[in-house]
Amino acid sequence: MLQFKFVKNQVPLGIIEIMEIGVEMELNCELTKQVVDALQANNIDCYIVGGYVRDHLLGIKSKDIDIELHNTTIEEAYDVIAQVTDAKVFGSFGVISLTEANTEFAIARTEQKTGSTHTDFEVEFITDGNLKLAASRRDFTINSIMYDLQANKLIDNYNGIIDLENKVLRHVSPAFTEDPLRILRGIKFMARYNLKMDVETYELCTSIINELRFLPTIRVQNEIEAIFSSQYFKQVSWLLSEYFSSLFKDTLNQENDFNSNSDYNRLMFFKQFNNYEQVINFCYEQKTFKKDLKLALDNYDRYKNYEKLSGNEKYELLASSKHCLKYISHINPSVLNYYDKYLLLTAKYNGQYFMDLGIQGKAIKEAMKTKIGDELHEL
């Protein structure tokens, strides 16, 4: 593992253009080493990038390795790698994956946003070996540090080492705003490494918060789950709360049909909550209460208009409500009153009650539904 001590540097941030520190970093996988040797033998330059470098500087063991390739094409790189081991090419950016080695190789590129979704990007590959341009597409300075496997040295174009030392989370460039998921990624890094966010970065995050709604649910959900499982979650929970508050501020009172409004990507759940504290509480518990959420979502309209249901419909809905009472109370508080009555009625009209009337087997359930449903309807 890399042994590294931060070098104190009194030069103000933004003046250093390139800081190179001679240091030796070992790859943690023999197969990855063999592939890198083959690439370099074919004059393809290899640079470790992203989290592997960051975590090694912090003395943290990192499993996944991202290697950026310069002075090559995806076809040329794949041909070389395929001579060493099996590999797969995936994604529109042409990423070569060594699944067994937890390693990905990608051609150096720049990206420019062309639309509102996460796939609306125009990609241009870097062919002139411009390392600073390649690093400019990274989200935060602490993730922009590169390790040159040719010269065995760190290359820090955006002062990420200083920010890492000072525990500051800072965006690399204005292009940060092209991917709103970086807001949640930033909070995740703050929670994981106990960082504080730079003021300008905070302002950029705030300016694009509403664009989170256009992202696929799973991408947002993965980041939220990572935040709540991080060591320093409590220190950043206020920031996550603030972002959710901004996101839900304009939507909490809307009467759009939640289940059919794909623009809000079901993750946003705004129809279930009165305020953002409830959102945070839900997110924290969502691993435990996923089935409750699904039930609340699937029956949203029924909970909202509970009084309009027939007797049997009321019975069926209340019979399933025990799993998600905390959520449905924000949809229709009166359901809780009916639920209390439902519990009393189920205690009164239990299985023995119907057996005493001569009803047997599966017919008991239907009789119970009808009897209790009728009384609920009368209420």
Question: How does pLDDT run across 169-205, given as a tens digit for each residue?
Answer: 999 999 899 899 999 999 999 999 999 999 999 999 9
Alpha helices in 65-208 (DSSP H): 74-82, 131-135, 160-165, 181-193, 199-207
149: which residues sit within 8 A by CB, 6+ positions away? 36, 40, 45, 46, 47, 48, 67
Give the per-residue pLDDT at 77: 93
- 142 pLDDT exceeds 70? yes
DSSP state letters, 198-265: -HHHHHHHHHTGGGGGGS-HHHHHHHHHHHHTSTTHHHHHHHHHHHHHHHHHTTTT--S-GGG-GGGT
The answer to pTM > 0.75 is: no
Torsion 113-115-119-125 (CA) sign: negative
Calculate mean pLDDT across residues 42-61: 92
CA distances from 375 to 310, 315, 340, 342 (A): 11, 10, 13, 9
Give the per-residue pLDDT at 283: 58
The residue length of the chain stands at 379
- Regarding predicted confidence, which is higher, 9 or 76? 76
Calculate mean pLDDT across residues 268-284: 52
- Regarding predicted confidence, which is higher, 30 or 286? 30
Give the per-residue pLDDT at 295: 77
Q: What angle do CA 34, 35, 41 make, to 5 degrees?
A: 90
